[in-house]
Structures are given as C-alpha cells and as structure tokens.
Amino acid sequence: MILEQNNVQTYGSGARTLVFAHGYGCDQNMWRPVADAMADRYRVVLFDYIGFGQSDLSAYASDKYATLQDYATDVIKIARELELQNAVFVGHSVSAMIGALASISAPDLFDDLIMVGPSPYYMKDGDYNGGFSPAEIEEMLEFLDHNHLGWSQAMAPAIMGNTDRPELGETLTNSFCATDPQVARDFAKVTFLSDCRDKLPEVKARTLILQCVDDIIAPEHVGAYVHANIAGSTFKVLDASGHCPNLSAPHQVTAAIEAFL
C-alpha cells in the first residue's frame, strides 16, 4: 500500500539504486531531468510525499505528519517494501534532513547520502545563522496561512532564482500552487520550524553536500555548517545559482553525483 500511496515509480537498471526525494511544495517530477539522465546506469526510485504530486491525499493528516521524522518513516517504509540495501538517498532541500533522519534510523538502507541545498535549521540562533530571523519566519508562515496562492507566486521565483530564465520560476510556482493549501501550510511549519542540528553528527552514511551560490533558502555558509558537522562529508559548490539546481543545472548535479559515487 505504501508504494501506491506515495506514487512510487521505479525504472532504470544498475547494481545500485538511487532514491530521489523532492523538496517543499514539489513532487517527483522535479528530479526527472537528473533521474532520467542516470537511469541507464542506476536503478531509479521516485516518489511523492503524502499530500504532494500524485500521492494519496486521503492518507494525509496533520497530526500524522507533524515532524520530519514522520516523513523519514515513510521513506524507510518505501525502502523496506522495495527491499533496498546499500542504496543512495538523494534529497533536495528539506529532504536532505529527511534523508539524514532516515539514514540514522535505518543505517542498513542507505550507504550514501546526497544533500542538495540542505539546511538543518532555517533561523538565526546565537552564532548560528540559518538565514532568517524568527520574526521573518513567522511573517512568512502567516502570509502562507492567509494567502496560499499569493505566497506561492511571490516566493517560488525568489527561491528558484535564475531570473534570466523565468520559465524555471513559473515551473516552481505552478508546483507550489497545485499543492493542497492545508498540506502546504502544515509542511511549511514542519520545514521551517524544525531543528536538526543535533542530528548531523549522528549521520554515518557517506555524505555529499551540493551547494549553489545565491541560494536564499540555504546560503553557502549553512551548507558549510552541515559539512563541518557530518564527519567525513564532501562539500561541493556548484557553478549554479538559486535553490533548485535539479531543475536549473541538472547536468552539473548529475556529474557531481556520478563523480561522488
């Protein structure tokens, strides 16, 4: 049932399996440019979190998905159902932390963890600067509460960046707008209020951190913080801007993953 609920798709061939996980307000199609490019060398798994894309919305409940660990539990269930071992988890944005939690809870499933634009905590706290003040996060969440479509139309292009290619911002805007408003509000709170900093040292999977420049959601110093707190991790800054290189620079993301693996 978990495979149907999460609209799990598998294709490609190879000795190793790549599990691609989408970010906030997105679905599995955000990974298609990278996944399709790698399917001749790897088995590929794509899925939608409950409440997003073509997942089963009836399986969603606010109290059931109140923490990032709840989403990580679904990742583990999917991996177990597919009988994965020594797989590679590729997580964009908030999915980087979901993947970290899944790898900690079920270390036999994922040998490698690839984080694209990760942030363990989005707010400023003492010497740590996640990029946003608590007041800014509160204001953003209030905007989303009152005007889901307006928030999506304002935020998506800024998150995407690459203003010289407005079609990319439009793609992300359409994805945000298509998300159920209640799910969007709930997941935004889970995403932007979660603090995973203390979990980073527990990650034992071999980890690659891919960072873009001019990323307003996960600035470069945040990626460097993640790198510094996961022992043995690799940190690579892509020649790409914005928060979604899986769409804006898929060839670079593909090459970086290939080189790491």
Q: Dump the DSSP string for 2-52.
A: HHHHTT-EEEE--SSEEEEE--TT--GGGGHHHHHHHTTTSEEEE---TTS
Q: How far apart are CA 220 and CA 213, in angstroms?
A: 7
Q: What is the pLDDT of residue 159?
A: 84
- DSSP reduced 3-state for 238: strand
**Contact call for residues 199 and 96 (beta carbons, < 8 A):** no
User: How many domains does the chain divide into?
Assistant: 1
When pLDDT is averaged across residues 39-43 and rounded to a whole number, the result is 96
Q: What is the pLDDT of residue 166?
A: 82
Q: How far apart are CA 111 and CA 96, in angstroms?
A: 14
Catalytic, out of 22, 152, 243, 248? 243
215 counts as catalytic: yes
The region that residue 125 occupies, defined by phi over 0 for left and psi between -120 and 50 for alpha, beta otherwise, is beta
Q: How does pLDDT run across 42-66, given as a tens digit for each residue?
A: 999 999 999 999 999 999 999 999 9
Q: How far apart are CA 139 and CA 95, in angstroms?
A: 23
Q: How far apart are CA 132 and CA 26, in angstroms?
A: 22
Kindly state whether residue 221 falls inside one of the protein's structural domains. Answer: yes
Kindly state whether residue 177 falls inside one of the protein's structural domains. Answer: no
In CATH, what number is assigned to the domain containing residue 228?
3.40.50.1820
Kindly state whether residue 174 falls inside one of the protein's structural domains. Answer: no
Q: How does pLDDT run across 203-259, given as a tens digit for each residue?
A: 999 999 999 999 999 999 999 999 999 999 999 999 999 999 999 999 999 999 999
Q: How does pLDDT run across 151-201, given as a tens digit for each residue?
A: 888 888 888 888 888 887 788 888 887 788 899 999 999 999 999 999 999
Catalytic, out of 186, 215, 227, 248? 215
What is the domain extent for residue 51?
Answer: 2-122+194-260
243 counts as catalytic: yes
Kindly state whether residue 78 falls inside one of the protein's structural domains. Answer: yes
Q: How far apart are CA 17 and CA 261, in angstroms?
A: 11
- Closest-CA residue to 198 (of 129, 102, 97): 97
Bridge partners, residue 12, by sequence: 43
Kindly state whether residue 39 falls inside one of the protein's structural domains. Answer: yes
241 counts as catalytic: no
Kindly state whether residue 186 falls inside one of the protein's structural domains. Answer: no
Is 0.75 topped by the overall pTM? yes
Q: Could you tell me whether strands 128-129 and 206-213 are parallel, antiparallel, or unpaired per DSSP bridges?
A: unpaired
Q: What is the pLDDT of residue 170?
A: 86
Q: How far apart are CA 153 and CA 139, in angstroms?
A: 16
The token pair at 228 is 């510094």
At residue 130, what are phi and psi to the nearest 5 degrees?
A: -80, -5
Higher-confidence residue of 31 and 176: namely 31
Kindly state whether residue 235 falls inside one of the protein's structural domains. Answer: yes
Q: What is the pLDDT of residue 238?
A: 96
Kindly state whether residue 144 falls inside one of the protein's structural domains. Answer: no
Higher-confidence residue of 140 and 5: namely 5
Q: How does pLDDT run across 61-119, given as a tens digit for each residue?
A: 999 999 999 999 999 999 999 999 899 999 999 999 999 999 999 999 999 999 999 99
Catalytic, out of 55, 93, 152, 241? 93
**Contact call for residues 194 and 125 (beta carbons, < 8 A):** no
- DSSP reduced 3-state for 111: strand
